[in-house]
Chains A and B, each alone.
Chain A
Amino acid sequence: MFLEHCRSILGLSLSLAKVNFKLRNEGTYLGMLWYLLEPLLMFLLLLYIFSSRMNEIKHYPVYLLLGLIMYNLFSSSTIHSARAIVDNAAFIKSIKMRYEPLVLSVVLQFIFTHLFEIAVLAIFMIYFKISLVGLIFYPVLLIFYGIFICGISFALAAIGVRINDITNVWRVLVSLMWFATPIFYFIKEDSKQFLLNPIAHFILAARDLVITGRIPPFWLIIDVVILSFVSLAVGMTIFNLSKNKFAEFV
């Protein structure tokens, strides 16, 4: 019963994610290519601006690209999730359905995009002669990162039903967090900036795994697991407490 319930939610989430993924760049001249061009252009720009760091940080282009695409996954998923319920008012009012797939589909849609970006990352790794072994284990970390993002997305989607401008507020917060996250610079693991920024934990673990090819330290693995499940528990609680009223407020 529980498994069937999960399968049904996942099935609808995947269908909606595929549709959103297809429609996002529908009608543009470059179509699917935009999924690669957007992060690549940003990456090249940052690489040009911070070219001096090439000598300070080992494999800086891969270091930068991995941080950038991981942060993109977080920012795009959470910003779009804030309107996941509101933008699907037509579904919610006209059929009896579960609301979770509306949020999960947004996260899945950006995970699809992330997979394209990972393919580009792999090309860079080959170019810079970095072993791809670590990248094979990256999906394990991605699952926990996905769970963490889902938690925040559920909370934002629920709040977005009551307060429309949560999207704008969150967009500003995400921009600020971008600078507070070690995407284009390096910070020490014991700094306050690192400890207070949950995304930094995931990015650091990913860099350990993908670039240096070693298993992240035990404390970091524990951090990642705890952050994922705490985020999901908090997000789902907020979502479940308010979902009964969604149809009345959209």
Chain B
Amino acid sequence: MERIIVDKICKQFTLDAKNNSALESATSLLNRNIKRRFWALKDISFKAQDGENIGIIGSNGSGKSTLLRATAGIYTIDSGRIGIKGKIVYLDGLAPGLKRKLTVRENIYLMGSLLNLGHNDITNKLNTIIEFCGVEEFVDTKVFQLSSGMIARFAFSATVHFVKHYNPDIILLDEVFGAGADADFQKKAIRKMEELVKCGATVLLASHDLNLIKIYCSRALWMEKGEILREGEPQGVCDAYAALTL
């Protein structure tokens, strides 16, 4: 079954669209032609089957994040069509909405709520999350008092457990593998991510880590300047990308 159908989509951004003041708004109305527009996505098409893992690579500004956000429905598209079948989760980095003045426990409840989990579901997951990241004694400590490694641990643990609980059909991951914790936890984290990626959901994974793409994906898309430059088996696509850029 085709979970994602992306058909000839285009997305244009206006670079100076954000007016910072009423004065700028007024002057921009008089000077409409000074706005710079650029195409972030140009005629992109691909399909993703049920359970397929697709890696997206490309240099900064190539359109990877825009493509994921457009697929998730966060960005509107200017032309083309996106068809989605099933529950979808989009994650850009770990710990969406982390509040440094709240405790680890309070942050876990907040993150769970943002990912659409009910209070009872979060309570049921709380112990598993804490045990996995090994910050039991700091559960009621405010986040700003923790080391960055500890923050990375609990952010990773909470995000992955909540996403698994949500049981999505499609997972869109934008550079979320960079755990930033110690070596032991990195191994644990990679095993957990494997579970998530191999749970049967369709995964679109945008990353600069070519090894991750080669290990977890069955197909890769190489994007540059909003276009798909090459598509195919990950080894070949990653090698071609590496040869040109590294």
Binding site for B on A (CB under 8 A): 8, 11-12, 15-16, 19, 22-23, 26-27, 88, 90-97, 162-165, 169, 244-245, 247-249
Task: Check if B25 is an interface residue, CB within 8 A of chain A.
Answer: yes
Complex formed: what's the CA distance from A8 to B121 in Å?
13
Q: Which residues of A contact B96 (CB under 8 A)?
A: 90-91, 94-95
Does A96 lie within 8 Å of B22, measured CB to CB? no
Known pairs A162-B25, A164-B20. 7 more at Cβ < 8 A? A19-B99, A19-B110, A23-B99, A90-B96, A95-B114, A96-B89, A165-B21
Residues 92-110 of B, flagged 1 when their CB comes within 8 A of A and 0 if not, give: 1100110101100010011
Q: Which residues of A contact B19 (CB under 8 A)?
A: 162-164
Q: Which of A19, A163, A164, A247 contacts B74 (CB 8 A)?
A: A247
Q: Which residues of B contact A26 (CB under 8 A)?
A: 101
The answer to whether A93 and B21 touch (CB under 8 A), given A12-B113, A15-B109, A23-B102, is no
Complex formed: what's the CA distance from A233 to B159 in Å?
36
Task: Check if B75 is an interface residue, CB within 8 A of chain A.
Answer: yes
The main secondary structure of chain A at its interface with chain B is: helix
Q: Which residues of B contact A19 (CB under 8 A)?
A: 99, 102, 106, 110
Q: Which of B22, B69, B90 contacts A169 (CB 8 A)?
A: B22
Complex formed: what's the CA distance from A113 to B89 in Å?
34
Query: Lowest 5 CB-CB distances: which A-B pairs, in order?
Result: A15-B113, A94-B92, A94-B96, A95-B96, A96-B90
Complex formed: what's the CA distance from A98 to B138 in Å?
31
Does B21 lie within 8 Å of A248, measured CB to CB? no
Q: Which residues of B contact A245 (CB under 8 A)?
A: 76
Does B101 lie within 8 Å of A8, measured CB to CB? no
Complex formed: what's the CA distance from A11 to B76 in Å?
26
Task: Check if B5 is an interface residue, CB within 8 A of chain A.
Answer: no
Q: Closest B-chain residue to A248, C-beta based?
A: B75
Complex formed: what's the CA distance from A113 to B20 in Å?
31
Q: Which of A15, A90, A247 contacts B69 (CB 8 A)?
A: A247
A11–chain B nearest beta-carbon distance, Å: 7
Does B25 lie within 8 Å of A8, measured CB to CB? no
Task: Check if B82 is an interface residue, CB within 8 A of chain A.
Answer: no
Residues 219-244 of B, flagged 1 when their CB comes within 8 A of A and 0 if not, give: 00000000000000000000000000
Q: Which residues of B contact A165 (CB under 8 A)?
A: 20-22
Complex formed: what's the CA distance from A96 to B73 in Å?
7
The answer to whether A90 and B22 touch (CB under 8 A), given A19-B102, A95-B114, A97-B114, is no
Does A248 lie within 8 Å of B13, measured CB to CB? yes
A168–chain B nearest beta-carbon distance, Å: 9
Task: Check if B115 is an interface residue, CB within 8 A of chain A.
Answer: yes
Does B74 lie within 8 Å of A92, measured CB to CB? yes
Complex formed: what's the CA distance from A94 to B13 in Å?
18
A132–chain B nearest beta-carbon distance, Å: 33
Task: Check if B116 is an interface residue, CB within 8 A of chain A.
Answer: yes
Task: Check if B119 is an interface residue, CB within 8 A of chain A.
Answer: yes
Q: Which residues of B contact A22 (CB under 8 A)?
A: 102, 106
B109–chain A nearest beta-carbon distance, Å: 7
The answer to whether A15 and B91 touch (CB under 8 A), given A165-B22, A245-B76, is no
A94–chain B nearest beta-carbon distance, Å: 4
The answer to whether A11 and B119 touch (CB under 8 A), given A16-B113, A23-B101, A245-B76, is yes
